[in-house]
């Protein structure tokens, strides 16, 4: 993401997992583990939406941890249709979370599917989830906590908004819809970051949106 980004390898269920860590300048508030989109369609930890998630969490005081799923970049192993990729996320969480700090989980597209399933399998639950363009039409999204922050583009042509609403409706889960925006938030990444910063905090909490 920048010259300060630390990249290293950790042990995973299918071999080494490549991770990238960005630290906040201010006091550390928590750790955010962020999942990238479908690796079979070019998704990596350097995806622009995932980097935007990382920038937002760093600005809020979280250590942002991105990682490559198995078979991508320096991560070992092969595509496992989502099953092993959830295991990869859990391995990263186990390695990088701090028991004394809140854990946030985030994901974009397929990464939203992974984050939702990883959250469900954690014994020590996550503080909250942030899901951008979750792949509800392509993968079996699970139920998520009621305070999850879900953001979706109105004109998403990869994951139709209707499929996300169909997933959210039985949960009475609010979805933030961004008018006129497609799946990859082209030209609207600053707006996406602003929505995350504004939506993550409870009413009355002060946060710099600059």
Q: What pLDDT was estimated at residue 2?
A: 76
How sure is the predictor about 182, in pLDDT bands with cuts at 50, 70 and 90? very high
Mean pLDDT score of the chain:
95
Exposure letters 127-148 (e unless 16+ CB within 10 A, then b):
bbbbbbbbbbbebebeebeeeb
pLDDT tens digits, one per residue of 102-136: 999 999 999 999 999 999 999 999 999 999 999 99
Region 67-95: mean pLDDT is: 98
Q: Which of 23-27, 127-131, 173-177, 201-205 is the least confident region?
A: 201-205
C-beta separation of 91 from 14 below 8 A = no
Q: What pLDDT was estimated at residue 26?
A: 87
C-beta separation of 17 from 8 below 8 A = no
Q: What pLDDT was estimated at residue 207?
A: 45
| Three-class secondary structure of residue 65 per DSSP | strand
Predicted TM-score (pTM) above 0.85: yes
Res 208 pLDDT > 80: no
Region 170-185: mean pLDDT is: 98
Q: Which helix (H) or strand (E) segment is 106 a member of?
A: strand 103-108
Domain ranges of the chain: 6-200
CATH numeric code, 6-200? 3.40.50.1820
Give φ, ψ of 9 to 5 degrees: -110, 140
Neighbours of 81 (CB within 10 A): 8
Three-state secondary structure of the chain:
CCCCCEEEEEEECCEEEEEEEECCCCCCCEEEEEECCCHHHCCCCCCHHHHHHHHHHHHCCEEEEEECCCCCCCCCCCCCCCHHHHHHHHHHHHHHCCCCCCEEEEEECHHHHHHHHHHHHCCCCCCEEEEECCCCCCCCCCCCCCCCEEEEECCCCCCCHHHHHHHHHHHCCCCEEECCCCCCCCCCHHHHHHHHHHHHCCCCCCCCCC
Q: What pLDDT was estimated at residue 203?
A: 42
pLDDT tens digits, one per residue of 4-53: 999 999 999 999 999 999 999 989 999 999 999 999 999 999 999 999 99
């Amino acid at each position: 993401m920048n010259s300060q980004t630390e990249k290293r390898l950790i042990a995973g269920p299918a071999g080494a997992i490549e991770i990238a860590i960005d630290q906040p300048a201010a006091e550390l508030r928590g750790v955010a583990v962020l999942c990238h989109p479908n690796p079979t369609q070019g998704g990596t930890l350097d995806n622009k939406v995932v980097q935007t998630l990382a920038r937002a969490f760093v600005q809020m005081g979280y250590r942002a941890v991105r990682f490559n799923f198995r078979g991508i970049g320096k991560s070992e192993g092969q595509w496992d249709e989502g099953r092993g990729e959830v295991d990869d996320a859990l391995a990263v969480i186990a390695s990088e979370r701090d028991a004394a700090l809140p854990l946030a989980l985030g994901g974009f597209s397929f990464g939203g599917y992974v984050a939702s399933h990883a959250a469900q399998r954690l014994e020590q639950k996550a503080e909250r989830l942030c899901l951008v363009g979750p792949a509800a039409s392509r993968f079996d999204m699970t139920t998520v906590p009621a305070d999850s922050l879900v953001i979706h583009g109105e004109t998403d042509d990869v994951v139709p908004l209707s499929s996300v609403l169909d997933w959210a409706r039985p949960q009475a889960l609010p979805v933030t819809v961004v008018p006129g925006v497609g799946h990859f938030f082209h030209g609207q990444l600053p707006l996406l970051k602003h929505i995350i910063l504004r939506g993550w905090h409870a009413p009355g909490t002060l946060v710099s949106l600059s």
